[in-house]
Structure 1
Amino acid sequence: MGAGGILRIAAGTALLAALAACTDMPAPDAQAPQAQPSAMRPPAPKAPVAASERSRALAGHYARVEAGLLRQGLLRTDGGGPDAPYTDTAILRNFERIAFHDEYARDRGLAQSDGRPGGLRKWTGPVRMSVEFGASVPLDQREIDRGMVTGYVARLARVTGHSISVGATADANFNVLFMGEDDRAETVARIRQLVPNINQSSINLFQTLPRSIHCLVVAFSSNNQDHTYRRAIALIRTEHPSLLRKSCVHEELAQGLGLANDSPHARPSIFNDDDEFALLTTHDEELLRLLYSPRLKPGMSYDEARPILVQLIAEQRGGSS
């Protein structure tokens, strides 16, 4: 679903993107995210349990949301086409809005940001993702979700040219949590385990997550390197039907790489609140390639980056306008 953005909250510097009411909140300085001690490794996967009435009701709500969007011709999966052309000028404009702006104010929950641009944010080291499941997720669904993430991560690595992989949970720095309404306590416990110094306001968001938030991602940086990501956590609601579930994975994992905001002008794009596109598009791949060009450094302002972007776009798109 189109609403994207990253919410930056406390514990190092965190940035969180929530789909459908996407969040992008910068955080105050704090300690860097701590490594997991050996005693804090994730517990063994739990056997699936039957969904509660509340979880079933939420699943029914999201099924109706997906069906309604499809009836309107939204949630496209074609990646864009002749009806959605874009130019070099559009790419430059959209990259500026999506990569240099936040949707939400730092450490203020879902409060809107002041709209001022910030520095460029990205990972500089390898991104090692893991896939984890709450007890509410059936075993067959876990295999489907794991395969979906693995395939998408391979695409992200290919598009960006950056080291992005799926591996062992103990070695991960980007944890993808598939959790349902019945897994809230498990979700909070796992987040506390992954980021022991996370602040209470951030925990409160996960504990009281409204149904308007379909999924979210939190990316953390250390306080002395505010624009370089060190850890991320994505939360995907397991009550979603298949396409909404996949759209959450596509947007949150891409935004956890540094494309923090949404723009109503971005098309064809998942970084847009209009829900027209469900899955990463050709336009979005161009944004990711730009972001992970070695010529763009974390912390760069837009004014510093602009001449480099113009050159990169000309090289990437053959100079069309």
Structure 2
Amino acid sequence: MTAGRLRRWNLLPLLGLLAVAACGGPEPVPPVADTRPVVRPDPGPSQEELRKARAERNRAANAAAAEALVKASATSTAQRDFYDRAERALRAQGRLRRDRVPMDAPIDAETLTRNFIAVALRDEYGQGGIQAGDGGAPAPLRRWQDPVRLQIEFGTTSDVATRRSYRIEVSQYAARLAEATGHRVSLTDSGGNFVVMVLSDDERRAIGPRLAQLVPGIPAHDIAAMQDLDADNFCTVFAYSRGAAPVYSNAVALIRAELPPLLQSSCIHEELAQGMGLANDSPEARPSIFNDDEEFALLTRHDELLLKILYDPRLRPGMSAAEAEPVVRQIATELMAQNI
């Protein structure tokens, strides 16, 4: 069976016949004036009308966010205070640092190699979503093959200003991830394969049906993990591949809407970078966001180099730690020699 096609009539023979006919025959009839009214295309809404419509949408979104906050549960309200205090306490302890190249934490090729193996080739969670001990469970090298299309979804408690701020920050961070990895990473309004969900406590507990839509076949224990996220977990990410393939096809990150600004940025940096394939945290990784001690809030130069190693074409998805280590050491040596 042939595939369907659009059938287009060939007008050239017909036009040729008309041209020949016009060369002879009776005198042409004088043209009759066309008295039909001219139909002009609808110019559409004016810029002022568009501005007013956008302002009205923003007003409605802000009103909905304000109403949702009023209706928020006592738990969600208490969490905002809790995370504000947590951020202040961490900063008072000298944590949540924002320096990209800290002078008190020099790195070399051996540091990069050791930390890459610990972060990229081990898993924080084992089978069934159970947290693994002793530095994580051994895992093959995983990364994306298709372009990463980040899509942000908000609950009703996020107002227009919050949404705009998130989109700007995620878009800028996507460009940084793309530069570090050499892989295509961008922000999209729809059709994303890496969804970032910004939800309040109430919204998160009701997110099961939406997660099932976003990732068909998502394990029930992953949905439960996100719905029942412990209060001391600010955010989380789950990445998925098709079958047993070591190539990611989908990812979902969840960030609490109750977080203050610096913890919010810290979650964006860590979860999106982990969703690129640096799946584990290590207490030895420094200076790094892939360490649960919260010393660093934002992606460091060390972490950028880990991402660069991960997407180097000399490595391939599915490699074990034993297979990858000599290649990683060679890449790390080259990177440190370049002083990038």
Q: TM-score range, shorter-chain basis?
A: 0.7 to 0.9
Q: What TM-score, normalized to structure 1?
A: 0.81
2:202 is equivalent to residue 182 of structure 1? yes
* 1:111 CA drift (Å): 5.3
Residue of structure 1 in register with 2:234 after alignment: 214
Q: 2:74 aligns with which of 53, 57, 65?
A: 53
Residue of structure 2 in register with 1:166 after alignment: 187
What SS does structure 2 have at the residue aligned with 1:151? Answer: helix
Q: Greater RCO between the two (CA within 8 Å, min separation 6)? A: 1
Residue of structure 2 in register with 1:126 after alignment: 147
* Matching of residues 57-76 of structure 1 within 5 Å: 57-76=78-97
Residue of structure 2 in register with 1:243 after alignment: 262
Segment of structure 1 superposing worse, 58-67 or 80-89 = 80-89
* 1:103 CA drift (Å): 1.8
Aligned mates of 1:114, 1:314 — CA distance in 2:
25
Aligned mates of 2:154, 2:174 — CA distance in 1:
17
Name the amino acid aligned to 2:243.
Answer: N
Q: Structure 1, residues 244-267: CA drift from partner, whole Å, max 9, x if none?
A: 010000000000000011111111
Residue of structure 2 in register with 1:301 after alignment: 320
Give the unaligned 5+ runs of structure 2.
Answer: 1-60
Runs of 4 or more above 3 Å deviation:
108-116
Contact 2:206/2:227 (CA < 8 Å) preserved in 1?
no
What SS does structure 1 have at the residue aligned with 2:231? Answer: coil
Residue of structure 1 in register with 2:121 after alignment: 100
Query: More helix per residue: 1 or 2?
Result: 2
Residue of structure 2 in register with 1:137 after alignment: 158
2:253 is equivalent to residue 234 of structure 1? yes
Name the amino acid aligned to 1:168.
Answer: D
Name the amino acid aligned to 2:88.
Answer: A
Q: Structure 1, residues 46-93: CA drift from partner, whole Å, max 9, x if none?
A: 942223332110010000100000001110001132111111111100
Aligned mates of 1:117, 1:54 — CA distance in 2:
37
Segment of structure 1 superposing worse, 237-246 or 201-210 = 201-210
Q: Structure 1, residues 76-121: CA drift from partner, whole Å, max 9, x if none?
A: 0011321111111111000010011112222144454784422101
Aligned mates of 2:219, 2:338 — CA distance in 1:
46
Q: Percent identity?
A: 46
2:218 is equivalent to residue 201 of structure 1? no
Give the unaligned 5+ runs of structure 1.
Answer: 1-44
Residue of structure 2 in register with 1:260 after alignment: 279
Let me know the Cα RMSD of the aligned residues: 1.8
* 1:185 CA drift (Å): 4.6
Aligned mates of 1:310, 1:112 — CA distance in 2:
26
Contact 2:237/2:254 (CA < 8 Å) preserved in 1?
yes
2:168 is equivalent to residue 147 of structure 1? yes
* 1:129 CA drift (Å): 0.7
Change (3 A) 1:304 1:111: closer
Change (3 A) 1:285 1:191: same
* 1:207 CA drift (Å): 2.2
Contact 1:102/1:113 (CA < 8 Å) preserved in 2?
no
What SS does structure 2 have at the residue aligned with 1:318? Answer: helix
Residue of structure 2 in register with 1:82 after alignment: 103
Aligned mates of 1:206, 1:271 — CA distance in 2:
20
Q: Structure 1, residues 178-222: CA drift from partner, whole Å, max 9, x if none?
A: 111121255222211112322322222222221121101110001
* 1:306 CA drift (Å): 1.9
What SS does structure 1 have at the residue aligned with 2:209? Answer: helix
Q: What TM-score, normalized to structure 2?
A: 0.77
Aligned mates of 1:248, 1:86 — CA distance in 2:
24
Contact 2:143/2:310 (CA < 8 Å) preserved in 1?
yes
What SS does structure 1 have at the residue aligned with 2:127? Answer: coil
Aligned mates of 1:124, 1:207 — CA distance in 2:
29
Give the paired residue count: 274
Aligned mates of 1:103, 1:191 — CA distance in 2:
21
Contact 2:237/2:274 (CA < 8 Å) preserved in 1?
yes
